[in-house]
Structure formats: C-alpha cells, structure tokens
Amino acid sequence: MTALNKSIEPGDSPDLTEERASGTFDTNAMAAVIYGSDKFAQRRREISEAISKIPELADSAPLPFLDRFGKVTEGSRKLSVILENIDKLIDPSSYEEGLHLYTEVMGMEGHPLALHEVMFIPALIAQASDEQQVKWLGRARRREIIGCYAQTEMGHGSNLRALETTATYSPETQEFILHSPTITSLKWWPGALGKSANWAVVVANLIIRDKNYGPHPFMVQLRDEDSHEPLPGITVGDIGPKMAFNGGDNGFLGFRNYRIPREYLLNRHAKVEADGRYVKPPHAKINHSAMIRVRSHMATGQGALLAHALVIAVRYSAVRRQGYLEDKSREVKVLDYQTQQHRLFPSIARAYAFIFCGFETIRLYDQLLIDVQNGNTSGMADLHALTSGLKSVVTYQTGEGIEQARMACGGHGYSMASYISEIYGVAIGGCTYEGENMVMLLQLGRYLVKSIEMIQNGKSRELGPMVAYLAENESEIDLNLGPNEYLKVFEYAARNQTWRATEKFQKLRNSGMSNEKAWNQASVELTRASRLHTRLYIMSTFINHVGSIVDQKVKGVLIDLLNVHVTYEVMDIGIYVQGLLSSNQMDLIRNQLYVSLETIRPNAVSLVDSFQISDMQLRSVLGRRDGNVYENLFKWAKSSPLNKTDVLPSVTQYLKPMMEKSKL
Amino acid sequence: MTALNKSIEPGDSPDLTEERASGTFDTNAMAAVIYGSDKFAQRRREISEAISKIPELADSAPLPFLDRFGKVTEGSRKLSVILENIDKLIDPSSYEEGLHLYTEVMGMEGHPLALHEVMFIPALIAQASDEQQVKWLGRARRREIIGCYAQTEMGHGSNLRALETTATYSPETQEFILHSPTITSLKWWPGALGKSANWAVVVANLIIRDKNYGPHPFMVQLRDEDSHEPLPGITVGDIGPKMAFNGGDNGFLGFRNYRIPREYLLNRHAKVEADGRYVKPPHAKINHSAMIRVRSHMATGQGALLAHALVIAVRYSAVRRQGYLEDKSREVKVLDYQTQQHRLFPSIARAYAFIFCGFETIRLYDQLLIDVQNGNTSGMADLHALTSGLKSVVTYQTGEGIEQARMACGGHGYSMASYISEIYGVAIGGCTYEGENMVMLLQLGRYLVKSIEMIQNGKSRELGPMVAYLAENESEIDLNLGPNEYLKVFEYAARNQTWRATEKFQKLRNSGMSNEKAWNQASVELTRASRLHTRLYIMSTFINHVGSIVDQKVKGVLIDLLNVHVTYEVMDIGIYVQGLLSSNQMDLIRNQLYVSLETIRPNAVSLVDSFQISDMQLRSVLGRRDGNVYENLFKWAKSSPLNKTDVLPSVTQYLKPMMEKSKL
C-alpha cells in the first residue's frame, strides 16, 4: 500500500516516516486545495523538479554565510541564470508560475528586479498614457531598463500630503525641475533604488507658477544607460543593512535642480500643457485599487511565510527528542508535549486560514474590478477598509506564530541553520510596509464608526454584507452545533467592542472635544474593534472554504483543524465575550481546544508537508524533508566561513599577545 | 534655572529639548534609583566619560556594517585596548564597573572573553578543589588561558541525564578517556568555544569499570598554548551564524579517545582514586545556586535591554512627526498618539519593574547564600522555582516590548540604523538559553502544585511567604484604594488558575492516568498558573520598591508609572478575573489606564533619559541623545559598505549584460 503522504522516501529519518505513515489524507490532494487547483499544485512540483536539475540555480553557499555584497551578487547571478533558462522552467505568461520560480530560486532576501515587476511596471500601466507606454513599457518588460517606484521620503511615510520633493514646471524650457529641498525630503526605502535601478517612477509635488498641485508621478532617468553612473544632479545610494531583505538594495535618492522633459510627467490622468496650464484628472481617488490588490495578496503571502516556519518547526519537533513521558528508556519526541502542540497547531490553523482568506479577498478584488468597469464603485470603500484590517492582523499574527515556531525549536532554532529568524525578519516587515499597522487598523476603525452611525441613523439596511452583523441582536449560543456558533461568539465580541469604541468617540466629541482629539483618545479601543472585526472575517472565510471542499479525507482533517482554530481563537478573545458565555461554556471550549490538539497530532507532519515547500526553498537544516538534521547541522557548521582556518588572524593578532603578556 | 533633566545640551533637536524641559524630576536622582545608589550612577557617568576620551575604544565602523570576521576581530581588538587601559577606566575589583565598561565598549554582539569571566572562572571556583584552583584559577584570572564551559550537546539541552559524552577512567594510565560516540554527542553552543578558548570545563559522563556515575566536570585543554592549533583528538570549530551574538564564537567540540590526567576531574565534590574507587560528593544537589544566581541577574539584564530599546523608540517618537491632530499647520509628534503611548509606556513601566525585581531577587539570593552557609537550605527550592518563572516571564515580555518599540519607529525601526532588531535578537535568546521557557514554567508549576497539595493536606501554615496567598480567600476589591488592590486582583487570578490547573492534573491522575501523562495534559494550564504567579511577584516588588523611595519628585513620577503598570497588567489578564471584578470595575480600570498614559506623557523622555545609556552604548542613529536623527541617518547610510562605489561589480557582471542583450 502506498502511503497517503507523498513525502516519504528511503533513507529518511524513521521518526518522520512514522509520522507520515500515520497521515489520514493524500498530501497531493491537500496541496491542490492550498494552491487552488490540482493542476497548479502539479505545476509547482514540476517546476521545482526542473529547477533542481539546473545546478547553477542552487545557492552557491548557504545565504546566512554571505555578507551583503555576497547576497546582492548572488541575486544578480541567479537572475541571469533564470533568464537564460526561463522558457525551460515555466510558462512566462503565468504570474503564479513566475512567482513560484522566483520564490524558490531567489529566496526571500531580495534581488535586483524584485520591484521592477511588482511596482514599476504596474505603475507605468496605471499611470502612463498610451503614448508613454509605447515609449517605456516595452523597454521595461524586455528589461532594457531596470526601474523602481520612489515615493516614501526619509521624513514622510504614511502621510502623502507631507511629501517635500518638488517638480517645478519651467515653461521657458518645457521642463520639470526636480528638487530635494531638505534632508527629510530624500527618497528613502524604495526597493532596488540604491544600486540596481537606472529609471524610477518618482512621486513629487507638482508646482506650476508657485502653486502646489500635490503629489504626481514622474518618469525619471537616474543613471546613464551605458556606464550605470548616476546622472549629474542625482544623489543615489543604498540605505544600509536592514533587519532582513539584505540581498535587496533599498535606496535613497536626492535631486539638485534636476531637469526632465515635460512629457515625463506620467499623464494618463493629469497633464501639464506647454504653457503651464494644468489639466485635471477626470476622476479623483482613482488609485485606491492598487493598494487593495497588494494588501489582498499579503494575506496569502504572509500565510505562506507562516507555513514556511511551521514546516521547519513541526518536522524538527518530530525528530528532536527530549525528556520522558511514560517510557523511561527513550526520550520522547518534543511534538508529544501539550505545550509544544499548543505553540504550533493553532498556528498551522492560522496559516491555512490566511491562505484561504487570501483567495476569498482576491476573489472580492477581482469582482470589484468588474464592478468598477461597469461604473459601480460602491464596494471600493468596503474592500479598502477590510484589506487594511486584514493586512494588519495577518502580519502581526504571522510574526507571532513564526517566533513561537522558532522558540519551539529550542537552541537550534536560534541558529541561522534553522533559517526561521530570517523568515521572521521578512514577515514582520509586513507590519510596517504597505501602511503601518496602527494606521491601517484606524482606517478600518473609521469605516466601522461610519457603519455604526448608519445604524444610529436608521439606515441599517444600507450596510454592506460584511458589517450587517453590527446591527443584529445577540442570540443564544449552542457550542455543540459547531463552528458557526463560534462565529456568533466572534460577532458578539466584534459588535460589542465596535459599539463601545464608537460610543466612546461620540461621547468625547459631544462633550465639546475636537473631532481629532476625541478620535485620538478613542483610538486604542478602535484598534481593538478593528482586530475583532478582521478576525471574524478570517474565521468566517475559513469555515466557508472548508465547507466547499469535495475530497472527504481532506475535508475531514480540515474540520479537525478548524476545531483547533475556533476554540483557540475564542479562548484568545475571552475577555470580550464575558457577557455572552457562561463560565461553564468557557470551560467547555477550553477542554475542546485540548481535545482538538490531540486529534490533529497524528496529521501534524502531513499538514505541513502539504505546503510542498522544497528543501531548496526552505533553506533550513532543521526543516529538511528527510529529517536527517544532526549530521547536516554538523556539515553546515563545518563549512561556515569562520572555520576556513583553525586559527583566526584576530587570535594571532590580539588574543595570543594578551595571553603571552600575562605569562611574563 | 537649570532643568531637572540632565540630558539637555546646546544644538539638540528642539523637539527633544522641549520634552526634557517638561520633566518634573531630576534624572540623576532617578538614575541613582535605577542603579542602586547615587555613587554608582555617578561612577557610570564617569566611566562613560573616560571611555569617550580613548578613541581606540570606539567602534571602528558601525557594527551592522561588519561581517562575522569583522565583528569577531573588532571584539578582540577592543579587548586588547580595554586591558591596556583598564586601570585608568575602572576599579578592577568592582564587578559592576567592569560590567558597565564591557557593555559600553563591546556592545552586545559577543567577544572572546564573554564566557571566561561569567562561566569558566565561576565553574573553577565552584567545582575545582583548592589544589586545582592553585593550578588553574590564577592562570585563568591573569588571562594566560582563555576558557569556556562546555555542557550542552547537539542532541541534548535541558535534559542533563541524556548527555552522551563519556569520560572513561583507565586505571592503567590513571587517565580519563574523553569520547564523543555520536554526532548528537558533540558539544554544541558553548560561547567562546569555537575559536577563542584553549581550555574548557567539559561536562561528561564519568564511567568507571562500565558503570556510569553520571555527568561530572573535567578540565580539558583544547588547543596548544603556543600555536593555538587544536590538539590531536580534538575537533573544534564555530557553529556558524546565529540570530544575534555574531561577534561571539559559540562552538562545537568532539573528542576522539582524548586522554586527560586523573587530576583533571574537577574534584571539589567528587573524586576518583588512582585505583578507580569513586568518592561521592558529601551533598547531592549542591549546585542549584549557580542557576539561581544567573537567573536572578537575568531580570536586571533583560530590563536593561528593554530600557535600551525604549530609549531609542521614545526619543525618536518625540522627533518623528507624522499626521495632524488639531493644528493642521504642522505635523504632530508621533508620541502624542494614544496608540503610540499604549505601545510604549506600559513597557517603560515593565523595564523599571524588571530592574527593581532583579534587585529584590538578588537580595533574596544573597540572603539564601548566608542561610545555606548556616546550614539552612530550606529557601533553595522556593527561590529556584521563583527564578525559573521570573526568567521565563521577563524574557518573553522583554522581547514583546522591544519588538513593539521597533515597530513604533515605523520604517526606520526596520533599518539596522535603529539597532533595535539587534537588541531584540540578543534579548529574545534569553527565552531559550539558561533553561527553555516552557520547561522553566513547568518547574515553577511543579512547585505550585506541591504548594496546593500542602494546603489540601492541612499544612497551609508551612507555606513559604511567596505562596501563602494560595491558601487565602478572596476579598472585596476597592480599586480606589490604590496599587495594593490591584495586587489582590492578581492574587485572585494566580490563585484561581493555580487551583484550576492543579485540580485538572489531580483529576486526570485520579482517573487512572499515569503521572506523566496527566502532567502533560495539564501542562498548558500549569504554565498559565506559573505566569500569573510570577507576574504577581513582579508587581508586588515594583510596588514595594516605589514605596521605599525617598526623593519625593522621583517617587511621584514612579507612582504615575506604577499606575500605568497596575492598570495595564490587570487589563491584560482580564480573562482570569471575570469572577472577581464587575464589568463596571473593568471599565474603571480601562479608563484609568488611558488617564495614566496621559499623565506620564510629559515625563516619558525623562524616564528613558534616566537610564543614562550613552550614545556609544546605544549604537542607534534613531536614539541619539541630541535627537539629530535625519542628518545622521543620511551620514550612516552614505558610509555603508555598498556605497563605496557607485557601480557595483555585480551590476557590471550580470545586470548590464542582461539589459544590453535585450536591446539587440
């Protein structure tokens, strides 16, 4: 009989094989659920297989052994190998296949084209006129130029109104003069800006005859296309090492009265005529959807990062033995400890939940695009608010889960051989970029307050489907009826907290306080409402997605995982449901959680195997598919740079003289 | 009039000076409270001043710009400069002055003598006989040799019983034969073992005539004292890069039938006679106190790391401006946002609480040493349990607080220029080393269960003072009476949870389950009891310490900070006090928390200034005393290694050909 788990191979650690043999579902079938279709799951495996056949695509050394020069060089080197082989590897027209290829080969530490495809080209598509696209889009797509998107400044992130870079129109020469008036106006952080890009879309305040028309996008050449040297008037460089992404060259950029032709204002929406006349864009607020798109994809991306860390921690926990339970003759797998299960299994549930939630959100986004094309923009605000909260909750919980996964690996988790701290650095960046989490939560908060105000004004029926529960009454909870009852508990919590926070804000405002001050004093309570609302949405999409699954074995284990999820999440927000659940009901949920941890235990390894993250992509000695951790940990360490010689020059230069001197 | 805040200087950021001018207490007086005496606080300032006068003690480049070779070399270089100048800098007999000197000059990334003073020498003192001390202790103290302490193995951390390294006695030659029988038996992780140490205290199973006497400490020479080459039979090296401490050379060590003389068993407690007769130690369990000592100091050390991150985040939050409140003409300091205050101020309170708690625990430890010398070891178990829990709670909350501090700095927090991610890496290691946190919590859990059993057996009066509350009844809470009422709330929570967890364990065991299985199934609930018990202790020592302060202005602001603490902590454990506090009382506490955040706001910068961490020690562009962040961020970035040339070799080698090819 073939095992249902497809990751078993001869020579594997028997501890892992034992786990895999106990799995109750087909891991390929689960992968099809995780990646949206059996076909794409299959393609992923084929692409990974094809990659493994090209030795030049492998890391030339474990990435943690490289300094920044090494990482940046490695990214460029592999990029050239990818481009040489791309037709053999993927269907270049498939975004998903490309993503899988880049993720696997490049890893997560950054590379020179990272922003070219994701930010630069989309910005050209969205903001360049048809004429301008003819001029630049083809060049960008053929990679004749490397571009980036320069908006954030050293002193200015979330608040676009405060950007300082200016683009002053000079009617005499029909040019814009780009200028950075202060240090804080330097562009700061844009990916690939520092060393790689020779062109950029730059956001600057458009000034015509001393009047500021606000931030506009300009196409700007930064470096000579032959020498790659920065052009006169341009100051550009790398912003230095970061918590992660050190293979990437996030950069700074300053202008000293740098002139560009009038035609370089990206003028799909707004234009400046030769005489300096400003032609307004037909619609304001046209550009919300780009943010929604990026944030929708973040749920899936962060879910994948959490999954990545969990593959490592769960496999390692089945190999690592420590301490004794009943059998005193052999140490027990640490995965058998309840504390370990409680650290890891609710995070497995969240990883699945985030990925499913990403699907649903992207579906809503695609629907929105259709609606907008049909002239219906009513859903824009709803989805913008939702994705703001989602981005915030998912990034925070992902970071939390990854760190717990790392700590669950004990001492070796702390070694870069686990690679989990690198994954953490990458994931936790998401709490800050694409909108700082507190700012995001308060954007959703504003939407929730508006929804309550609609209810207060008798307009409950106009509420969107995702906030309709705010107008409902609480109902009796019968926990025996399954996950949907837990959803009601979350609705109660989110509704109660939203009303509480809104009423606090309104009361302060009504007491004569300014709107801004009242908002600020209610803001912590508002962020709590936003988190609960978002977590309700995540749980709801998880439940719905599991309900739609056809394969009964896969569905069975996902229902078990859902039971971990709903019990854990409700316990986690226990303080918000005191008015609803009795202490007996809370005890019941708590016990259910512990039972569900035991239920999922035999499938734990199969659940993480199903993510089908290859060893190449994992880059983790602890997480290897074969579970042969210890001998490879030794190999890894022996090959690390400090071990090239037995005696370090610094010992000869400093420590030996110190010891000699003492002997005199 | 001179400002009470002593950190004001001409040329500072006006935003910071404004904050400092509003402080209501003398920061030197607060530093005296933080560092235990005005005299030592003054010495710290003098030492920092003296260090700043020796340019060779400064970092030769910002540490994040160095690779591991650079960091290791930098540590050795500075060590030699320190030793040349030590008499000018500190009183070498003062442990505290030495610690301050090393912390400031070396930073936190590790150096070759880090373990020599803290582990190797104390191990010789505790375990070498008087004769052996004559032989080795002087050499160690004069730094003629560099030592480390090698206990942990690749496959074995917390469970000492499972160590695999053997030291087999050979009566013929009167030698021990050290051997590493497996890969998992390699010593792994010991600090300074990889490249620096030439001697080690090695823990191995003592085998005499096939009988295993368990782990014993041996003095072992690893490297030739002249050539520094590893001796034949020794395999030694660096374990590779880690999440932090990359200036340190944590190492691996294997033995191939490596012989050492019989006299190299450290025999203060146990001995092997020439004929192989084993002489038992007079007392078992003699060595608990070393662990207690290390863990007691961890509370202070972690408090200092949390403080370190908060100095950076609070100062930067007073300089960084973003968004608007009422005044639309100028962006507001981000420190004025309630969400930012809620992120940072409860952590300031915790940093103070941990430091005070460290004092109290070290006092208890010193008392214990006196008691033990007088033959009374009864307090050993109590303090061992307490410090196990303390280590766990303090390291976890410190890590949490540091990460929130980093995120509170927005994008620039993610740059290594903030240095906060390095502080995080260092601090969070504490969750794992010196006893993994879950294991630690369960050690305390065992003690708590025993305490409950004493109560159940009618022996309440024999309970130690720290667990007496477990036998008490709950009382009415009148929150208006101040912090001690909050303490009662915590007592209620800890008592309730401890009883609940114990009863769960007992019920399972009584149902016929084995002791181990019942313990495992109750373990998550037990860890919760341990955390609550520990947090109660922290709050209680904070309250007592503030009560003992004489300076009225200092005491006043610490009472404000205590109000942040007690309200925040009780809200944080709200789910455990549902049976005690009414929903009105919870609302009251919540509102008190928000009020207390506003109350502490004008003193926030002065509270972090009071830690008196010099710019050299901070190593953070964002946290600079003068607040001149932006110009220095630009300087820092421009000097980073990737900016040495405008065009990277990797661009010339890979990216330019890619772009050229496309143009054809």
Q: How distant is the Cα of A496 from the closest Cα of chain B, in angstroms?
A: 13
Q: How distant is the Cα of B424 from the closest Cα of chain A, in angstroms?
A: 10
Q: Where are the alpha helices (DSSP H) in A511-640?
A: 515-521, 523-547, 552-572, 583-600, 604-609, 615-618, 629-638
Closest chain A CA to residue B662: A144
In this structure, chain B runs to a length of 664
Burial class (CB in 10 A: 0-12, 13-18, 19+), A238: buried
List pLDDT tens digits, range B178-187. Answer: 999 999 999 9
List pLDDT tens digits, range B377-419. Answer: 888 888 999 999 999 999 999 999 999 999 999 999 999 999 9
pLDDT value of position B65: 98
Same domain, A138 and A55: no
pLDDT value of position A661: 87
Please say which residue of A111, A141, A175 terminates a domain: A111
Phi, psi of A516 (to 5 degrees): -65, -40
A158 versus B553: the higher-pLDDT residue is B553
Please say which residue of A254, A279, A304 terminates a domain: A279
Q: Please check whether residue A148 lies inside any domain of the structure.
A: yes
B284: confidence class by pLDDT, cuts 50, 70, 90:
low
Lowest model confidence (mean pLDDT) among A349-363, A475-489, A620-634, B564-578? A475-489
Is pLDDT of A1 > 70? no
B579: confidence class by pLDDT, cuts 50, 70, 90:
confident
Interface test with B, best of A85, A196, A339 (most B CBs within 10 A): A339
A632 contacts in chain B (CB < 8 Å): none
Interface test with A, best of B156, B438, B584 (most A CBs within 10 A): B438
Q: How distant is the Cα of B329 from the closest Cα of chain A, in angstroms?
A: 11
Minimum-distance CB partner of B228 among A252, A643, A656: A656
Q: How distant is the Cα of B663 from the closest Cα of chain A, in angstroms?
A: 6
How many whole angstroms separate alpha carbon B590 and alpha carbon A570?
A: 21
pLDDT value of position A474: 84
B288: confidence class by pLDDT, cuts 50, 70, 90:
low
pLDDT value of position A291: 80
Same domain, A123 and A231: yes
A144 contacts in chain B (CB < 8 Å): 659, 662-663
Same domain, A123 and A264: yes
Return the amino acid letter for A135. Answer: K
DSSP β-ladder status, B199-208 and B147-150: parallel
Tell me, what CATH number does B194's domain have?
A: 2.40.110.10
Residue environment code for A318-354, b if the CB has 16+ CB neighbours within 10 A, otherwise e? bbbbbeebeeeeebbbbbebbbbbbbbbbbbbbbbbb
Strands laid side by side in the B251-255 sheet: B187-188, B251-255, B234-238
B186 contacts in chain A (CB < 8 Å): 634
- For helices B14-21 and B288-319, angle between their N-to-C axes, nearest 10 degrees: 120
Contact B524 A433 (CB under 8 A): no
Interacting residues of A418 by C-beta distance below 8 A, sequence separation 6+ = A312, A316, A406, A409, A412, A620, A621, A622, A623
Interface test with B, best of A658, A660, A661, A663 (most B CBs within 10 A): A658
Domain ranges, residue A201? 117-279
* Cβ atoms A253, A199 nearer than 8 A: no
Q: Span A430-445, mean pLDDT?
A: 95
Closest chain A CA to residue B343: A524
Contact B143 A337 (CB under 8 A): no
Q: Please check whether residue B543 lies inside any domain of the structure.
A: no
Average pLDDT, chain A: 95
Contact A655 B237 (CB under 8 A): no
Same domain, A88 and A207: no
Closest chain B CA to residue A146: B659
Torsional sign, CA A579, A581, A582, A586: negative
Q: How distant is the Cα of A87 from the closest Cα of chain B, in angstroms?
A: 16
Average pLDDT, chain B: 95
Q: Please check whether residue A373 lies inside any domain of the structure.
A: no
Distances B649 to A294, B69, B123, B655 between C-alpha atoms, Å: 33, 22, 50, 10
Contact A415 B240 (CB under 8 A): yes
Q: How many CB atoms lie within 10 A of CB B229?
A: 12
Q: How many CB atoms lie within 10 A of CB B190?
A: 27
Q: Please check whether residue B241 lies inside any domain of the structure.
A: yes
Q: Which two tokens stand for residue A305?
A: 């990062």
Closest chain B CA to residue A185: B630
Is pLDDT of B287 > 60? no
Contact B410 A241 (CB under 8 A): no
Interface test with B, best of A317, A397, A642, A662 (most B CBs within 10 A): A642
Is pLDDT of A286 > 80? no
Q: Which residues are registered as beta bridge partners of A333? A: A321
Closest chain A CA to residue B598: A521
Is pLDDT of A455 > 90? yes
Q: Which two tokens stand for residue A431?
A: 């709490």
Burial class (CB in 10 A: 0-12, 13-18, 19+), B424: buried
Is pLDDT of A285 > 60? no
List pLDDT tens digits, range B479-508. Answer: 888 899 999 999 999 999 999 999 999 999
Q: Please check whether residue A484 lies inside any domain of the structure.
A: no
A157 contacts in chain B (CB < 8 Å): 322, 410-411
Q: How distant is the Cα of B9 from the closest Cα of chain A, in angstroms?
A: 23
Q: Please check whether residue A201 lies inside any domain of the structure.
A: yes
Contact A79 B658 (CB under 8 A): yes
List pLDDT tens digits, range B316-351. Answer: 999 999 999 989 899 999 999 999 999 999 999 999
A80 contacts in chain B (CB < 8 Å): 654, 657-658
Contact A154 B633 (CB under 8 A): yes
Contact B76 A653 (CB under 8 A): yes
Of the candidates A276, A258, A280, A257, which has an alpha carbon nearest to the alpha carbon of residue A267? A280
Q: Where are the alpha helices (DSSP H) in A330-436?
A: 338-373, 379-408, 410-414, 420-429
Interacting residues of B268 by C-beta distance below 8 A, sequence separation 6+ = B126, B127, B128, B129, B132
Q: Span B70-87, mean pLDDT?
A: 95
Residue A2 annotated as lining a ligand binding site? no
Contact A410 B428 (CB under 8 A): no
Same domain, A60 and A105: yes
Contact B407 A195 (CB under 8 A): no
Task: Annotate A431-483 with DSSP letters as a single string.
Answer: TTTTS-HHHHHHHHHHHHHHHHHHHHTT-GGGS-TTTGGGGSPP----GGG-H
Is pLDDT of A335 > 80? yes
Same domain, A102 and A121: no
Closest chain A CA to residue B73: A650
Q: Span B436-443, mean pLDDT?
A: 96
Same domain, A88 and A141: no
- Cβ contacts below 8 Å, chain A against chain B, sum to 335
Same domain, A100 and A127: no
Closest chain B CA to residue A145: B659
DSSP β-ladder status, A187-188 and A251-255: antiparallel
B336 contacts in chain A (CB < 8 Å): 520
Is pLDDT of A88 > 80? yes
pLDDT value of position A287: 55
Q: How far is CA A652 from the centre of its chain?
A: 46
Is pLDDT of A54 > 60? yes
What's the total number of domains in chain A? 2
pLDDT value of position A284: 54
Same domain, A140 and A259: yes
How many whole angstroms separate alpha carbon B11 and alpha carbon B5?
A: 16
List pLDDT tens digits, range A587-600. Answer: 999 999 999 999 99
B416 contacts in chain A (CB < 8 Å): 240-243
Phi, psi of A411 (to 5 degrees): -55, -45
Same domain, A209 and A227: yes
Contact A634 B516 (CB under 8 A): no
A346 contacts in chain B (CB < 8 Å): none
DSSP letter assigned to residue A62: -
Same domain, A65 and A97: yes
Q: How many CB atoms lie within 10 A of CB B586?
A: 17
- Three-state secondary structure call for residue B239: coil
Distances B201 to A198, A316, B174, B190 between C-alpha atoms, Å: 57, 30, 19, 10
Catalytic residues of A: 434
Q: Please check whether residue B155 lies inside any domain of the structure.
A: yes
B184 contacts in chain A (CB < 8 Å): 630
Tell me, what CATH number does A104's domain have?
A: 1.10.540.10
Contact B240 A64 (CB under 8 A): yes
DSSP letter assigned to residue A545: H
Task: Annotate A140-176 with DSSP letters as a single string.
Answer: HHTTSS-EEEE--BTTBSS-GGG---EEEEETTTTEE
Interface test with A, best of B239, B397, B509 (most A CBs within 10 A): B239
Contact B411 A157 (CB under 8 A): yes
Same domain, A75 and A124: no
A416 versus A115: the higher-pLDDT residue is A416
Q: How much of chain A exceeds pLDDT 90, in percent?
A: 89
Q: Please check whether residue A512 lies inside any domain of the structure.
A: no
Q: How distant is the Cα of B226 from the closest Cα of chain A, in angstroms?
A: 8
- For helices A68-89 and B656-663, angle between their N-to-C axes, nearest 10 degrees: 30
Residue A191 annotated as lining a ligand binding site? yes
**Which ipTM score applies to this complex?**
0.97
